[in-house]
Amino acid sequence: MRAHRSSAVAAIAVAATLTAVAGCAAKSDGKGAGGKGAIAVTASDSACKVSAKDFPAGHVQFAVDNKGSQVTEVYVYAPGDRIVTERENIGPGTHVEITAEIKPGAYEIACKPGMKGHGIRQKVTASGKGAAVKRNPKLDAAVSAYRTWVQEQADQTLPEAQKFADAVKAGDVEAARKTYALSRVGWERTEPVAESFGDIDPKVDTRADGLSDGQKWTGWHKLEQSLWEKKKISADDKKLADQLITDLKDWQKRVGKAVINPTTMANGAKELLDEVATGKVTGEEERYSHTDLIDFHANVEGAQKAYELLKPVVAKNDPALAKELDKQFAAILKQLDGHRDSNSADGFASYDTVGKDERKTLSDSVNALAEPLSKLAAAVAEAK
Amino acid sequence: MSQDETTTDAPAGRTPSRRALLGWGGAGLALGAVAAGGTAAALRTGGDAQPAGADATAASAVPFHGRHQAGIATAVQDRLHFASFDVTTDDRDELIALLKDWTKAAARMTAGDAVGGGAVGGLAEAPPDDTGEALGLPPSRLTLTFGVGPTLFEKDGKDRFGLKKRRPEALIDLPKFSGDNLDSTRSGGDLCVQACADDPQVAVHAIRNLARIGFGKIAIRWSQLGFGKTSSTTPEAQTPRNMMGFKDGTHNIAGTDAAALDAHVWVGDKDVKGDESWMAGGSYLVARRIRMHIETWDRTSLKEQEDVFGRDKAEGAPVGQKHERDTPHLKSMLPTAHVRLAHPDSNGGVRILRRGYSFTDGTDGLGRLDAGLFFLAYQRDVRHGFVPLQRKLSASDALNEYIQHVGSAVFAIPPGVRGAGDWWGRELFA
């Protein structure tokens, strides 16, 4: 199941690369076929040896041998940890061949023994007549740091989600209520990345109104309804708690491989505010638990993280925009601080106690931040 | 006409202007409007009065610059989008920057051009400057009229922008009138923009884009869409009917009657001294959302309906007269008749310029039509215009059984934007 999904993701990554290089590097087609001229990658539990650190750009083949004792995976990263190609599930003693269109430029090859973490990396260069793609190192650094942060959010979410799932499985309504909102924070901070996969979000974060006829309702909000509206935990809910953890582990596994670039980061930040504007400000998101404010806060934090990482570039390209965003982020966070409640499990007041006028003020602040935030992508797109 | 369509005084954008896109299509629309008849020339009054020329058609542009703001004496357009804003920034310089940005965008939109870099042709990764729903539509005689409310000068005892001493005496807080049932979320506001156009999409586009430019500095407090102008500033045209089926506001001030406008609408140089001098050439606006109890009105006998207004329903003629514009004989009407109470002769000659529109916002959840009159009245001094008139009406008008005032706001309307370097409210912030 997992391998199947992963290969689909890899196919998309490769397809994206092919599209990007079409017409400039396709001439050397076939040169590396048949193993001759292939770059040998020898993976072990502690090393990742590459036979050539400088090779011609074009249709490149990598011949991978796993000489280690663990299952490994191999990645070719462009700067910013953008995945050019990858192969998972390379068992001990296994030989696999991976091919990809590689443009001239700098890359990293990573072996990941145990299929975990940052990997053991080698810097390589693809050289060729085609001009290397002009890169902005600041943007590459931003993308790389954001990718790391997104992974951390998923990693930190799993234990919180496990606490929630355990409480549900124990039939403990009170404990489940207390851990519910906290189990969602990492997800809410990085939601656009999770949504980019298409299949995880509908399983874990669908609301009642998002269902079509005949669709089974799974995920956080189904359990939210049981805990607050029905006030009891059914046998089916206990199964759903296990399913939630399975789906979140899938997210944790795949989130680092999402297509992330400066524009998707910038637009992802805007999308987080869209989430707030359409679901949280109205109280639709957490209609049973009324824990909308912590989601709201997490969405803003996620948008702010993407912005802060892109800021070195934005501040140079559009200083007025950076100034405005600094101001509006500060303003909305200050306003949310005004709704903190130390007596609540998640630290924020229940949204059903937030009056109509206060909701209007929150909505105005969302517009005030989201409108300049929608200009962030232009500020980084022009930075190439 | 065609010459006007191809020349534009707005700065060149990256994208073709709405007007440039029109070509013969635009001309055709304009001719269509003329053939349909009745839409009068876009008129401006004062020193820069625009003659009613051949291009003053429904599709044409109303000049944005002038001694007075357009949208007051201008022949009333068919549609309205009125918006009231709260200023959310505390920074005077930011507010001024916004007013400059707004003015620039307003000048472009009233000329039929898109905002900023246009609606298409910019960066694919970024949202366009203009929202695009007016792309390809003619200027549609769009006017944008800007005003400032009492709360801009002082709110909760705070002099927000150093303007407190500049609040004109004529910009009063309206008193409570009997029968008022005001909803605070449909009342008041620090700023207003009245968008009138012959195409509803053009009016909505204008407010939407101004709001977007302003987010972070302003927030929409409330807005109202209107249709079917209920009063006319062009006496040669028929007075339109309101949602009760009656003609009202027949003796409105004509947009061409310079003497009446000076006497009742425009703030004169002598009216304002010292800190109030910024209002010379301006006016004062009262906006009221007047809900009509449509269903009970519809069950009212024709005789009572006619008695309530003091007019007959077919012709709009005052009681005992034959034609709409016959001089009313007030004493023939019931003492509570609307026309009798509102007539200048019953009010010491007080006149106001009405630009109201009908509204219908669907139903109210109880199955009642949420409809009525969005009343807009311009005057030289609110204390001598709307206030005494409404005092009298709220106390005695037979119509009160069928209406309720549910929203209310008052604004000072600064003089017009004089030219390319000028901006809405410049005199106020000088």
Per-residue pLDDT tens digits of chain B, which is 430 residues long: 333 333 333 333 344 455 544 433 333 333 333 333 333 333 333 333 343 433 456 679 999 999 999 999 999 999 999 999 999 999 999 999 999 999 999 999 999 999 999 999 888 888 999 999 999 999 999 999 999 999 999 999 999 999 999 999 999 999 999 999 999 999 999 999 999 999 999 999 999 999 999 999 999 999 999 998 777 777 777 788 999 999 987 788 999 999 999 999 999 999 999 999 999 999 999 999 999 999 999 999 999 999 999 999 999 999 999 998 899 999 999 999 999 999 999 999 999 999 999 999 999 999 999 999 999 999 999 999 999 999 999 999 999 999 999 999 999 999 999 999 999 999 999 9
- Nearest of B140, B136, B142 to residue B17 by alpha carbon: B136
Taking the CA of residue A370 and the nearest CA in chain B, the distance in Å comes to 9
Query: Is the CB of A371 inside 8 Å of chain B's CB atoms?
Result: yes
Chain A residues touching residue B217 (CB < 8 angstroms): 368
Interface mutation target, options B125, B210, B213, chain A, most CBs of A under 10 Å: B125
Find, in chain B, the residue whose alpha carbon is nearest to that of A264. Answer: B125
Query: Is the CB of A174 inside 8 Å of chain B's CB atoms?
Result: no
Predicted local distance difference test score (pLDDT) of residue B313: 95
Does residue B205 sit within a domain? Answer: yes
Is residue A282 predicted with pLDDT exceeding 60?
yes
Region for residue A335 given its phi and psi (left: phi exceeds 0; alpha: psi -120 to 50; beta: otherwise): alpha
Taking the CA of residue B129 and the nearest CA in chain A, the distance in Å comes to 10
Burial class (CB in 10 A: 0-12, 13-18, 19+), B46: middle
Subunit contact A263:B125, Cβ cutoff 8 A: yes
B41 Cβ contact list (under 8 Å, min separation 6):
B50, B51, B52, B53, B56, B75
Query: Is the CB of A328 inside 8 Å of chain B's CB atoms?
Result: yes
Does residue B15 sit within a domain? Answer: no
| Number of domains chain B contains | 1
Mean pLDDT of A323-327: 97
Is residue A178 predicted with pLDDT exceeding 80?
yes
Taking the CA of residue B98 and the nearest CA in chain A, the distance in Å comes to 13
Subunit contact B123:A324, Cβ cutoff 8 A: no
Does residue B338 sit within a domain? Answer: yes
Chain B residues touching residue A374 (CB < 8 angstroms): 126-127
**Per the structure block, which two tokens stand in for B27?**
């001309």
Predicted local distance difference test score (pLDDT) of residue A130: 67
Give CA B401 to chain center in angstroms. 26
Query: Is the CB of A381 inside 8 Å of chain B's CB atoms?
Result: yes
Q: Is A50 helix (H, G, I), strand (E, B) or coil?
A: strand
Subunit contact B125:A324, Cβ cutoff 8 A: no
Q: Is A119 helix (H, G, I), strand (E, B) or coil?
A: coil
Region for residue A377 given its phi and psi (left: phi exceeds 0; alpha: psi -120 to 50; beta: otherwise): alpha
Query: Is the CB of A151 inside 8 Å of chain B's CB atoms?
Result: no
Give CA A17 to chain center in angstroms. 19
Q: Give CB contacts under 8 A, 24+ apart, made by B198-201.
A: B198/B33, B198/B39, B198/B58, B198/B59, B198/B77, B198/B78, B198/B79, B198/B140, B198/B141, B199/B78, B199/B79, B199/B137, B199/B138, B199/B140, B200/B78, B200/B79, B200/B81, B200/B225, B200/B227, B201/B133, B201/B134, B201/B137
Taking the CA of residue B22 and the nearest CA in chain A, the distance in Å comes to 29
Does residue B38 sit within a domain? Answer: no
Interface mutation target, options A270, A360, A364, chain B, most CBs of B under 10 Å: A364
Find, in chain A, the residue whose alpha carbon is nearest to that of B222. Answer: A360
Q: What is the pLDDT of residues A305-314, one digit of tens each?
A: 999 999 999 9
pTM score of the predicted model: 0.80
Subunit contact A324:B127, Cβ cutoff 8 A: no
Using CA atoms, how far residue A199 sits from A194, A203, A204, A243, B212, in Å, is: 9, 7, 9, 14, 34
Subunit contact A375:B88, Cβ cutoff 8 A: no
Chain A residues touching residue B212 (CB < 8 angstroms): 371
Q: What is the pLDDT of residues A204-235, one digit of tens each?
A: 999 998 888 888 999 999 999 999 999 999 99
Kindly report which listed range (A116-125, A288-297, A353-362, B157-166) carries the lowest average pLDDT score.
Answer: A116-125
- Give the count of Cβ contacts less than 8 A between chain A and B: 42
Chain A residues touching residue B122 (CB < 8 angstroms): 378
Q: How crowded is the C-beta side of B273, counted as CA atoms within 13 Å?
A: 1
Mean pLDDT of A174-202: 94
d(CA A290, CA A349): 9
Find, in chain B, the residue whose alpha carbon is nearest to that of A382. Answer: B123
Subunit contact A377:B216, Cβ cutoff 8 A: no
Predicted local distance difference test score (pLDDT) of residue B14: 40
Subunit contact A374:B219, Cβ cutoff 8 A: no
Does residue B35 sit within a domain? Answer: no
Query: Is the CB of A267 inside 8 Å of chain B's CB atoms?
Result: yes
Predicted local distance difference test score (pLDDT) of residue A102: 86
Predicted local distance difference test score (pLDDT) of residue B54: 36
Chain A residues touching residue B185 (CB < 8 angstroms): 356, 360
Is residue A129 predicted with pLDDT exceeding 80?
no
Strands (E) in chain A, as ranges, are: 39-43, 48-50, 54-56, 58-66, 72-78, 82-90, 95-102, 105-111, 120-127
Taking the CA of residue B189 and the nearest CA in chain A, the distance in Å comes to 14
Is residue A18 predicted with pLDDT exceeding 90?
no
Taking the CA of residue B123 and the nearest CA in chain A, the distance in Å comes to 7
Query: Is the CB of A67 inside 8 Å of chain B's CB atoms?
Result: no
Taking the CA of residue A144 and the nearest CA in chain B, the distance in Å comes to 21
Chain B residues touching residue A328 (CB < 8 angstroms): 216
Place of tokens 């509006």: A328
Is the separation of the CB atoms in B164 and B153 below 8 Å? yes
Does residue B2 sit within a domain? Answer: no
Query: Is the CB of A344 inside 8 Å of chain B's CB atoms?
Result: no
Interface mutation target, options B186, B215, B217, B220, chain A, most CBs of A under 10 Å: B215
Chain A residues touching residue B126 (CB < 8 angstroms): 374-375, 377-378, 381
Residues of B with CB under 8 A from a CB of A: 86, 88, 122-123, 125-127, 185, 212, 215-217, 219
Mean pLDDT of A117-143: 85
Does residue B366 sit within a domain? Answer: yes
Subunit contact A368:B86, Cβ cutoff 8 A: no
Subunit contact A375:B127, Cβ cutoff 8 A: yes
**Mean pLDDT estimate for chain A:** 87
Predicted local distance difference test score (pLDDT) of residue B56: 52
Taking the CA of residue B126 and the nearest CA in chain A, the distance in Å comes to 5
Q: What is the pLDDT of residues A343-375, one digit of tens each?
A: 999 999 999 999 999 999 999 999 999 999 999
For chain B, report the end-to-end CA distance as a whole number of angstroms. 38
Is residue A154 predicted with pLDDT exceeding 80?
yes
Chain B residues touching residue A323 (CB < 8 angstroms): none
Predicted local distance difference test score (pLDDT) of residue A38: 87
Strand A105-111 relative to strand A95-102: parallel, antiparallel, unpaired? unpaired
Taking the CA of residue B125 and the nearest CA in chain A, the distance in Å comes to 6
Is the separation of the CB atoms in B190 and B161 below 8 Å? no
Chain A residues touching residue B219 (CB < 8 angstroms): 360, 364, 367-368
**Per the structure block, which two tokens stand in for B218?**
């302003």
d(CA B397, CA A94): 94
- What structural domains does chain A harbor? 8-127 (2.60.40.420), 137-381 (1.20.1420.20)
What's the domain range around B314?
57-428
Q: What is the pLDDT of residues A73-99, one digit of tens each?
A: 999 998 888 888 888 889 999 898 888
Is the separation of the CB atoms in B426 and B381 below 8 Å? no
Does residue B116 sit within a domain? Answer: yes
- What phi and psi values does residue B212 have, to the nearest 5 degrees? -65, -40
